[in-house]
């Protein structure tokens, strides 16, 4: 008698053959080529009651098409992490890192000074840009308080600073709604309500977006520098440098985002 092999299953005279290839299979006795062929082609045959073999499971796993290559996630480590020494062949690493750290530190200061629930604590150190340099508000105006919630800024000594002071207050996100009377600016400290907390949280988001934009500009600037033709530097090295610049910038954005999340939680839930 001939021996038949079907998907790794051997069908011999006296053995059982598959009656279905797509479900749990049963078997019937096959003693001849004709009977064996009938077993394989007629899927509706009733299993022979004499069959004592266990049911056979057919592997129904589908062969799905492979997925495309997953794009590199934002902020993921570069394929080759360059040292400061290697990267310094293309950009001023020390300057780049200092500027990135400066943005993070600036945001931290803004959150501490400008977005405190106790406004009176931060108003004195509010940065005011005047004549190309930055000064704390207490050096520009005479600050006094009137009960219960009024702050008075007297700029009689520097009347030209009224506009820069107003700009600083409006950009601070403190929601103080300044009122001008001659050389004096009156600020009403808002009550700590749910609405006030949410407004401060929105200001925190605005400051975070500004910091993120500033970091992105630094990234673009130093990326352009790295791509300038440099003797003895290959295109692969330039690509690695660009990836490392992006990664370091994204790390700084991540630090700013962490500050933003902590500040938002403090303002809304604190």
Q: List, for residues 133-162, the tens digit of each pLDDT value.
A: 999 999 999 999 888 889 999 999 999 999
179 and 246 co-located in one domain: no
d(CA 194, CA 215): 32
CATH number for the domain harbouring residue 170: 3.30.1360.40
Distance of CA 215 to the CA centre of its chain: 14
Domain hosting 35: range is 1-59
pLDDT in tens, 12-27: 444 444 444 444 444 4
d(CA 58, CA 55): 10
Element (H, E) at 120: none
- pLDDT-based confidence at residue 84 (cuts at 50, 70, 90): very high
97 and 10 co-located in one domain: no
16 and 126 co-located in one domain: no
pLDDT value for 68: 36
In a domain, 43, yes or no: yes
pLDDT in tens, 190-222: 888 888 889 899 999 999 999 999 999 999 999
pLDDT in tens, 85-110: 999 999 999 999 999 999 999 999 99
258 and 159 co-located in one domain: no
pLDDT value for 122: 73
113 and 196 co-located in one domain: yes
pLDDT in tens, 31-57: 455 554 454 444 444 444 455 545 444
Mean pLDDT for all residues in the chain: 79
Helices 235-269 and 194-226 pack at an angle, to 10 degrees, of 170
- What average pLDDT does this structure show over 154-179? 90
DSSP assignment of 82-96: --HHHHTTTS-HHHH
Residues 6 or more apart in contact with residue 97 via CB below 8 angstroms:
248
- pLDDT-based confidence at residue 228 (cuts at 50, 70, 90): very high
pLDDT value for 75: 54
Q: How many CB atoms lie under 10 A from the CB of residue 234?
A: 9
pLDDT value for 34: 53
5 and 112 co-located in one domain: no
Tell me how many helices (H) and strands (E) the chain has. 7, 10
Do residues 136 and 114 lie in contact, with contact meaning Cβ atoms separated by under 8 Å?
no
What is the phi/psi pair of residue 119, to 5°?
Answer: -60, -35
94 and 210 co-located in one domain: yes
- The residue among 9, 29, 59 that closes a domain is 59
Question: Do the bridges between strand 150-154 and strand 27-29 make them parallel or antiparallel, or are there none, so unpaired?
Answer: unpaired
- The residue among 146, 165, 191 that closes a domain is 191
pLDDT value for 121: 61
pLDDT in tens, 186-195: 998 888 888 8
In a domain, 22, yes or no: yes
Distance of CA 162 to the CA centre of its chain: 40
Question: Tokens 């056979």 identify what position?
Answer: 56
Do residues 155 and 186 lie in contact, with contact meaning Cβ atoms separated by under 8 Å?
no
124 and 167 co-located in one domain: yes
pLDDT value for 83: 94
pLDDT value for 181: 93
228 and 254 co-located in one domain: yes
Question: Tokens 């000064």 identify what position?
Answer: 135
42 and 172 co-located in one domain: no
50 and 169 co-located in one domain: no
CATH number for the domain harbouring residue 102: 1.10.132.20
In a domain, 70, yes or no: no
Domain count for the chain, please give it: 3
Residues 6 or more apart in contact with residue 84 via CB below 8 angstroms:
93, 94
9 and 140 co-located in one domain: no
pLDDT value for 270: 66
């Amino acid at each position: 008698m001939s021996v038949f092999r079907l998907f790794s299953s051997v069908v011999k005279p006296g053995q059982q053959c598959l009656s279905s290839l797509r479900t749990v299979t049963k078997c019937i006795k096959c003693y001849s080529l004709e009977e064996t062929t009938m077993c394989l082609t007629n899927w509706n045959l009733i299993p022979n009651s004499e069959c004592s073999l266990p049911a056979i499971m057919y592997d129904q796993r589908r062969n799905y098409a492979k997925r495309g290559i997953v794009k590199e996630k934002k902020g993921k480590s570069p394929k080759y992490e360059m040292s400061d020494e290697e990267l310094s062949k293309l950009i001023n690493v020390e300057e780049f890192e200092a500027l990135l750290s400066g943005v993070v530190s600036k945001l931290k200061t803004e959150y501490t000074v400008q977005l405190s629930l106790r406004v009176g604590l931060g108003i004195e150190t509010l940065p005011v840009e005047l004549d190309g340099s930055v000064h704390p508000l207490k050096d520009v105006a005479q600050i006094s308080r009137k009960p219960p919630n009024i702050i008075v800024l007297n700029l009689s000594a520097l009347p030209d600073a009224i506009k820069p002071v107003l700009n600083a207050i409006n950009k601070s996100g403190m929601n103080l709604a300044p009122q001008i009377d001659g050389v004096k600016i009156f600020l009403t400290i808002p009550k700590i309500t749910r609405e006030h907390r949410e407004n401060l949280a929105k200001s925190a988001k605005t400051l975070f977006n500004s910091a993120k934009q500033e970091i992105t500009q630094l990234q673009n600037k130093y990326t352009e520098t790295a791509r300038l033709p440099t003797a003895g530097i290959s295109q692969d090295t330039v690509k690695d440098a660009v990836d490392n610049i992006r990664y370091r910038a994204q790390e700084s954005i991540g630090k700013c985002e962490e500050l933003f999340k902590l500040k938002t939680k403090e303002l809304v839930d604190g």
